[in-house]
């Protein structure tokens, strides 16, 4: 039997925009998702917008009461910036009371709330001023963070600033899956830099506040594997890791931006505008822990036809189609559990073995109703197998000394997924959109309970 360390966190992750619903009511102002859906509804799967999502705003009591039934002892979700501070300055009292009840209900059910501040949901009022392109966004975010710490710091002891900052950068400014959906490498780097500084300033606010607890950041990790050991392929791998992995891990954990990344950006005319005090702020405000969302590796090779200076990341590294890959056909993502061991060792050896946890891991599958049994339960054995395989490699990493303190599955109750709407389902519970958002436990929920009860499998 595989046993995990004592007090291991077993839980799930989600976010405010993907679960709450009530997206344009109860005092909340619009985010880029609300406005983009109005502008381009055709981009969204089946016309499913951010309006109602999984209705947690009304159903949180039932949801939290069900968490122990699948063995969860912790849950990560986020606060909606546009709900808490609709104009960026004034508190929305309805939001304060909603979140206070929500978090208190978690505590009453012995669920540790891990609360994140930004999950791709840029308030529209700030987007109209340029969003993360505008340097004022840094202090606007720090003010929001300070407000959240003041309002909920007595209930929440584990905080994170951003979920997967790379995603709003690359999807918004390179690959067109998030608003403003433009293609501009230089702007992407500037947006990334302001995001980093917003994180750093939120950590500063946390340290200046008197609340006890810890603060971290949630990063998506796609460890790069090169096609071969040739010099060119290894150079591509290095560029991929610098841009995507070390870009946030180094400054947030070690307090410095990697010199090689600074050189790479300079060499490609991508250096962002910076303030003279930034270096010191970065050095002074490192995190207490890291959350890593792992879904798939990144296979890379040297670019076949690159431009210099680079116009796109593909001028620095190209994706490589590994012939032996195993794919989740619904999401199109490679399934490679072995990477979790490599990630664990990276955290041990490159990041002074800082405490970290798997903050998201999961498998999105379309049309899951096909697998519904007579009892109404979805038999998602594939998801159980997916989790087992990943946990085996994670466990190997822990045995080798990596300081991992938990595993969160994406997600708890099926939720809305950006442009993909409700196409791929990830939950331990299904949600019936035609029947008052009725939740029904899946077989993976039963398995997760056993896993958590035994602290292993
Ligand atoms: C992560 C995000 C989540 C979630 C998940 C599943 O990158 O943090 O918000 O959506 O991926 O991916 P998707 O919903 O795109 O299938």
Residues of the chain with pLDDT > 70, as a percent, come to 100
What is the SS3 string spanning the chain? CCECCCCCEEEEECCHHHHCCCCCCCCCCCEHHHHHHHHCHHHCHHHCCCCCCCCHHHHHHHHHHHHHHHCCCEEEEECCHHHHCCCCCCCCHHHHHHHHHHHHHHHHCCCEEEEEEECCCCEHHHHCCCHHHCCHHHHHHHHHHHHHHHHHCCCCCEEEEEECHHHHHHHHHCCCCCCCCCCCHHHHHHHHHHHHHHHHHHHHHHHHCCCCCEEEEEEECCCEEECCCCHHHHHHHHHHHHHHHHHHHHHHHHCCCCHHHHHHHHHCCCCCCCCCCHHHHHHHCCCCEEEEECCCCEEEECCCCCCCCCCCHHHCCEECCCCCCCEECCCCEECCCHHHHHHHHHHHHHCCCCCEEEEECCCCEECHHHHECCCCCECCHHHHHHHHHHHHHHHHHHHCCCCEEEEEECCCECCCCHHHCCCEECCCEEEECCCCCEEEECHHHHHHHHHHHHCEC
- Residue pLDDT, tens place only, 123-150: 999 999 999 999 999 999 999 999 999 9
Name which residue sits closest to atom 15 of ligand 1, judged by CA.
417
Distance from the CA of 417 to the center of ligand 1, in angstroms?
A: 6
Contact of 185 with 312, CB cutoff 8 Å: yes
Q: Which residue has the tokens 């039997």?
A: 1
Mean pLDDT of 83-99: 98
Q: For residue range 389-445, list pLDDT tens digits in order.
A: 999 999 999 999 999 999 999 999 999 999 999 999 999 999 999 999 999 999 999
pLDDT at 171: 98
pLDDT tens, residue by residue, 334-381: 999 999 999 999 999 999 999 999 999 999 999 999 999 999 999 999
pLDDT at 90 over 90: yes
How confident is the model at residue 285, as a pLDDT? Answer: 98
Tokens of 90: 């004034």
Percentage with pLDDT > 90 across the chain: 99
Instruction: Tell me if 282 sits within 8 A of 298, measured CB to CB.
Output: no
Q: Which atom of ligand 1 is nearest to the CA of 120?
A: 9
Find, among 166, 162, 219, the residue nearest to 189 by Cα.
166
Which tens digit of pLDDT belongs to each residue from 305-315? 999 999 999 99
* pLDDT the model gives residue 202: 98
Pocket around ligand 1: residues whose beta carbon is below 6 Å from it?
A: 15, 18, 163-164, 167, 220, 293, 331, 360, 364, 410, 417-418, 420, 424
Write out the catalytic residue numbers: 164, 360
- Is the pTM of the predicted complex or chain greater than 0.85? yes
Give the per-residue pLDDT at 210: 85
Give tens-digit pLDDT for 288-324: 999 999 999 999 999 999 999 999 999 999 999 999 9
Domain 9-454 matching CATH 3.50.50.60: the answer reads no
The C-alpha atoms of residue 179 and residue 325 are separated, in whole angstroms, by 31
Q: Tokens 């959109």 appear where?
A: 433
Q: What is the mean pLDDT of the chain?
A: 98
Mean pLDDT (whole number) for 177-205: 98
CA 411 / ligand 1 centre spacing (Å)? 9
Q: Which of 119, 220, 360, 412 to mutate to test the pocket of ligand 1 (most atoms within 8 A of CB)?
A: 360
Beta pairing class for 158-163 and 112-118 = parallel
Q: Which atom of ligand 1 is nearest to the CA of 218?
A: 8
Alpha-carbon gap, residue 285 to 208, rounded angstroms? 11
């Amino acid at each position: 039997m595989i046993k995990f360390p004592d007090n291991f966190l077993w839980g799930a992750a989600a976010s405010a925009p993907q679960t709450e619903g009530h997206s344009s009511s109860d005092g909340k102002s619009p985010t880029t998702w609300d406005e983009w859906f109005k502008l381009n509804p055709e981009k969204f799967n089946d016309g499913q917008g951010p309006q109602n999502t999984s209705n947690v705003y009304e159903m949180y009591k039932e949801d939290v009461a069900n968490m122990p039934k699948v063995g969860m002892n912790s849950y990560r979700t986020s606060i909606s910036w546009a709900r808490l501070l609709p104009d960026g300055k004034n508190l929305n009292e309805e939001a304060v009371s909603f979140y206070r009840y929500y978090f208190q209900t978690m505590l009453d059910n012995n669920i540790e709330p891990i609360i994140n501040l930004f999950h791709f949901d840029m308030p529209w009022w700030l987007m109209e001023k340029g969003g993360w392109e505008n340097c004022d966004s840094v202090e606007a975010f720090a003010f929001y963070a300070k407000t959240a710490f003041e309002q909920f710091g007595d209930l929440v002891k584990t905080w994170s600033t951003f979920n997967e900052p790379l995603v709003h950068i690359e999807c918004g400014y390179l690959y067109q899956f998030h608003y403003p959906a433009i293609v501009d490498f230089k702007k992407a780097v500037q947006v990334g830099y302001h995001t980093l500084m917003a994180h750093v300033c939120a950590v500063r606010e946390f340290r200046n506040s008197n609340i006890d607890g810890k603060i971290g950041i949630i990063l998506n990790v796609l460890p790069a594997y090169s096609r071969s050991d040739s010099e060119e392929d290894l150079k591509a791998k290095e560029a991929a890791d610098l841009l995507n992995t070390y870009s946030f891990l180094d400054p947030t954990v070690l307090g410095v931006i990697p010199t090689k990344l600074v050189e790479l950006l300079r060499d490609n005319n991508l250096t962002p505008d910076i303030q003279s005090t930034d270096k010191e702020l970065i050095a002074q405000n490192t995190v207490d822990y890291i959350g890593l969302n792992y879904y798939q590796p990144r296979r890379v090779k040297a670019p076949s036809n690159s431009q210099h200076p680079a116009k796109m990341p593909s001028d620095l590294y190209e994706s490589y189609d590994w012939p032996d890959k195993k794919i989740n056909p619904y999401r199109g993502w490679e399934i490679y559990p072995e990477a979790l061991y490599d990630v664990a060792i990276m955290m041990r050896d490159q990041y002074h073995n800082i405490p970290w946890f798997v903050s998201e891991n999961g498998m999105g599958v379309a049309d899951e109703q096909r697998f519904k049994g007579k009892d109404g339960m979805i038999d998602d054995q594939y998801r159980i197998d997916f989790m087992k395989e990943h946990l085996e490699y994670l466990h190997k990493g822990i045995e080798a000394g990596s300081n991992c303190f938990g595993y969160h599955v994406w997600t708890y109750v099926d939720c809305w997924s950006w442009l993909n709407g409700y196409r791929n389902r990830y939950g331990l519970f299904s949600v019936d959109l035609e029947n008052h958002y009725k939740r029904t436990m899946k077989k993976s929920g039963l398995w997760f309970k056993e896993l958590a009860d035994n602290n292993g499998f």
